[in-house]
């Protein structure tokens, strides 16, 4: 994944001029993009609700290739992206005895590493897509992690109404808000504080823009940092931009959210 540059952070990918310039630079991508645009238009007509729509996108993408469905072009990239998430979280506070909620766990690209590391029963993965959760079970079996007894649960919303209060030390959402309209993020931030332990934290990635906020095909959403930190603060949380994540070769940015009164995280 390319590193962020001032130019990429200012780009508005929804603009026709951006699309035309991109098409000229990448002619081989025009036909796949048009196919995707047609499919997405049809799925949006069938599923006006965003979560229903994105679930249908995941069904279609997972049927073709579960690793590509979570955003990895090759198995090596799938492994590398999981390792990057795992290493970062380990360096930034994750401990074996922690209880972790992985929102939008996908096919356990990083999840299998968290499951392997954490004490048994302490990993909880949720996702809106039944198809990717079936792929997640295959990943789990492939790495012979059955004894770790992780929870893998289908969800439709991010109210966490089925989860206990004050339970999770770590909540994590990698490459989920990059596919979410602001209402979904708002719902998540409105409810995540209830399920976090007092010292717990919630790390999420997002596609950052320093220009106008925009979306492409209702699949990819670009937000300004201050929009998301203000939303967290509206819900009584403290939000911090993770500068360390910017050093990694990843196209998204990361924010850490804690309860407003939580003590400062130990490691950074
Ligand atoms: C790009 S994949 C990333 C998967 C995983 N986090 C990883 O890094 O491999 C995004 C995942 O988030 C899920 N997802 C999208 N919107 C969601 C939502 N509102 N709630 C829960 N999961 C969601 C998708 O079904 C998909 O599995």
Indicate whether residue 200 lines ligand 1 (CB < 6 A): no
Q: Is residue 266 part of a domain?
A: no
Q: Show pLDDT as tens, one digit a residue, over the chain (268 residues).
A: 557 888 888 888 888 888 777 777 888 888 888 898 899 999 999 999 999 999 999 999 999 999 999 999 999 999 999 999 999 999 999 999 999 999 999 999 999 999 999 999 999 999 999 999 999 999 999 999 999 999 999 999 999 999 999 999 999 999 999 999 999 999 999 999 999 999 999 999 999 999 999 998 888 999 999 999 999 999 999 999 999 999 999 999 999 999 976 655 555 5
Q: Is residue 265 part of a domain?
A: no
| 47 alpha carbon – ligand 1 mean position (Å) | 18
Atom 2 of ligand 1 has which residue's CA nearest to it? 70
| 24 alpha carbon – ligand 1 mean position (Å) | 31
Residue 18, token pair as written in the block: 């951006």
Q: Ligand 1 pocket test: pick from 56, 73, 127 the residue with the most ligand atoms within 8 Å of its Cβ.
A: 127
| 159 alpha carbon – ligand 1 mean position (Å) | 15
Q: Is residue 112 part of a domain?
A: yes
Which ligand 1 atom sits nearest the alpha carbon of residue 85? 8
Q: Is residue 267 part of a domain?
A: no
- Secondary structure (H, E, C), the chain: CCCCCHHHHHCCCCCHHHHHHHHHHCHHHHHHHHHHHHHHHHHHHHCCCHHHHHHHHHHHHHHHCHHHHCCCCCHHHHHHHHHHHHHHHHHCCCCCCCCEEEECCCCCCCHHHHHHHCCCCCEEEEECCHHHHHHHHHHHHHCCCHHHCCEEEECCCCCCCCCCCCCEEEEEECCCHHHCCHHHHHHHHHHHHHHEEEEEEEEEEEEECCCCCEEECCCEEEECHHHHHHHHHHCCEEEEECHHHHCCCCCCEEEEEEECCCCCCCCC
| 103 alpha carbon – ligand 1 mean position (Å) | 7
Residue from 147, 117, 128 nearest 57 by CA: 128
As for how many domains the chain has, the answer is: 1
pTM higher than the cut 0.75: yes
| 175 alpha carbon – ligand 1 mean position (Å) | 6
The alpha carbon of residue 186 and the mean position of all alpha carbons in its chain are separated, in whole angstroms, by 15
Which ligand 1 atom sits nearest the alpha carbon of residue 132? 27
Residue ranges making up the domain that contains 195: 6-259
CATH number at residue 119: 3.40.50.150
Indicate whether residue 9 lines ligand 1 (CB < 6 A): no
Atom 25 of ligand 1 has which residue's CA nearest to it? 129
Indicate whether residue 127 lines ligand 1 (CB < 6 A): yes
Q: Is residue 238 part of a domain?
A: yes
Q: Is residue 268 part of a domain?
A: no
Q: Is residue 183 part of a domain?
A: yes
């Amino acid at each position: 994944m390319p590193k962020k540059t001032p130019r990429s952070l200012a780009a508005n990918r929804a603009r026709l001029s951006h699309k035309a310039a991109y098409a000229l630079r990448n002619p081989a991508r025009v036909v796949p993009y048009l196919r995707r645009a047609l499919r997405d238009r049809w799925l949006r007509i069938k599923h006006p609700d965003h979560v229903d729509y994105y679930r249908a996108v995941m069904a279609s993408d997972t049927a073709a290739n579960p690793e590509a469905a979570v955003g990895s072009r090759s198995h090596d990239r799938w492994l590398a992206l999981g390792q990057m998430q795992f290493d970062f979280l380990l360096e930034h506070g994750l401990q074996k005895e922690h209880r972790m909620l992985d929102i939008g766990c996908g096919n356990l690209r990083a999840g299998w590493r968290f499951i392997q590391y954490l004490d048994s029963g302490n990993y909880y993965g949720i996702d809106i897509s039944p198809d990717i959760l079936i792929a997640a079970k295959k990943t789990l079996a492939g790495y012979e992690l059955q004894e770790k007894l992780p929870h893998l649960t289908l969800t439709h919303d991010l109210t966490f109404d089925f989860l206990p209060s004050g339970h999770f030390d770590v909540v994590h959402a990698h490459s989920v808000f990059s596919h979410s309209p602001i209402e979904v993020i708002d719902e998540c931030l409105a409810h995540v504080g209830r399920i976090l332990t007092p010292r717990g934290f919630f790390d999420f990635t997002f596609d950052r823009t320093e220009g106008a906020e925009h979306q492409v095909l209702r699949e990819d959403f670009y937000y300004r940092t201050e929009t998301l930190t203000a939303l967290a603060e509206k819900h009584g949380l403290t939000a911090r931009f993770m500068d360390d994540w910017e050093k990694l070769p990843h196209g998204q940015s990361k924010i850490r959210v804690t309860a407003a009164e939580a003590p400062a995280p130990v490691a950074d």
